[in-house]
Amino acid sequence: MGRILFLVTEGERAHNDNHLRLPAAFRDAGWETFVHGHDTLQLRGGTVLAAGRPVADHDLVWVLGLGRAATFFDRMQLLHRVPQDRFVTRIDALMYLHAKYAWSERMPETHADNDPDRLFDIVAGGGDWVAKPTAGSFGRDVERVFPDPAGHAALVRLTGAAERRYCLLQRYVPEIESGEKRTLIAGERIVGTYLRLPGADFRANLSRAGRAEPTVLTAAESRRVAAVHREVLAAGIGFAAIDIAGPYLMEVNLANPGGLGTLEALYGEDPAPRVVAAFAHRR
């Protein structure tokens, strides 16, 4: 019997049910399952513990979400001490590949800066642009910006003015109006794909009134997703959502991607057992 540890965010409203659905699926498959908060991590005499038990005593460790920003770097350094073959997604990947920088070569033209004036110079140079946080989720604080005072104000707001936070500026692509296709992967398996269509504005996030529909990948899209999937696996990422629109990669969400509940609602079958099967060899 395998042992799996889930490290989850406590005290926040969940935007998906991964923290419930996935432990239940592993438990149903016969795994001994433990679920603890991110902040239960500690170091005792060289051993990293979660809720008092050595993390390395588990066959599989699944870090769901990134937890509190205030303790993020401490926790990542602690978990980096644990053998990385235990993790669904390796700690280096959570550290360096969750934000959108790592995949920018496959995305629409992308810039990053913490100076709103320099970003606005790009907008003023022409084209249609979208500004977004570097590591945001659920479509929060994503805005289309234009070469006008409102566009400059949006960039000032996103960079936090005196805080000088980094902000992404990405060329708007009309393909997004036909929706994004999200493909969930677990290990070497594709769990499922669905279409996310925009709601009241250009954002296709289901948390922003977007809607989901069944879909299939075209041959060209399948090749594009497969290429990203190979990169994801090579980077030690075991569970992720790959979002594409037209010829573009829009995002690789690897911290805690939603979609399992949506796949069940659209296709009438709980996909969580397929996720468990992808890791059966790790027990």
C-alpha atoms less than 13 angstroms from C-alpha of 62 in its C-beta half-sphere: 27
Which of the 8 DSSP states describes residue 237?
A: B
Dihedral angle over CA of 221, 222, 225, 226, nearest 10: -150
Q: What are the Cα distances from residue 77, in Å, to 4, 93, 181?
A: 20, 13, 34
At 132-145, the pLDDT tens digits run 988 755 456 789 99
Is 54 within 8 Å of 47 (Cβ atoms)? yes
Beta bridge partners of 35: 6
At 153-187, the pLDDT tens digits run 999 999 987 789 999 999 999 999 899 999 999 99
Is 147 within 8 Å of 121 (Cβ atoms)? no
For the record, the structure tokens of 191 come out as 């769990």
For the record, the structure tokens of 11 come out as 């005290």
Overall CATH class of domain 3-96: alpha beta
Is 152 within 8 Å of 120 (Cβ atoms)? yes
Q: What is the pLDDT of residue 98?
A: 85
For the record, the structure tokens of 30 come out as 């016969």
120 vs 101 pLDDT, higher one:
120
Q: Whole-model pTM?
A: 0.91
- The domain over range 109-172 is classified in CATH as 3.30.2310.20: no
For the record, the structure tokens of 240 come out as 């992720």
Is 179 within 8 Å of 195 (Cβ atoms)? yes
- The domain over range 176-282 is classified in CATH as 3.30.70.890: no
SS3 call for 275: helix
Averaged pLDDT, 109-119: 96
Every domain of the chain and the residues it spans: 3-96, 109-172, 176-282
Q: What is the pLDDT of residue 141?
A: 78
- What one-letter code names the amino acid at 282? R
Which of the 8 DSSP states describes residue 39?
A: G
- What one-letter code names the amino acid at 24? A
At 9-40, the pLDDT tens digits run 875 556 789 999 999 999 999 999 999 999 99
Q: What is the pLDDT of residue 202?
A: 54
Average pLDDT taken over every residue of the chain: 91
Residue 204 reports pLDDT greater than 60: no
Q: How far apart are CA 79 and CA 87, in angstroms?
A: 9
Is 138 within 8 Å of 255 (Cβ atoms)? no
Q: What is the pLDDT of residue 142?
A: 87
Rama region for 179: left / alpha / beta (φ>0; ψ in -120 to 50; rest):
left
Q: How far apart are CA 232 and CA 184, in angstroms?
A: 12
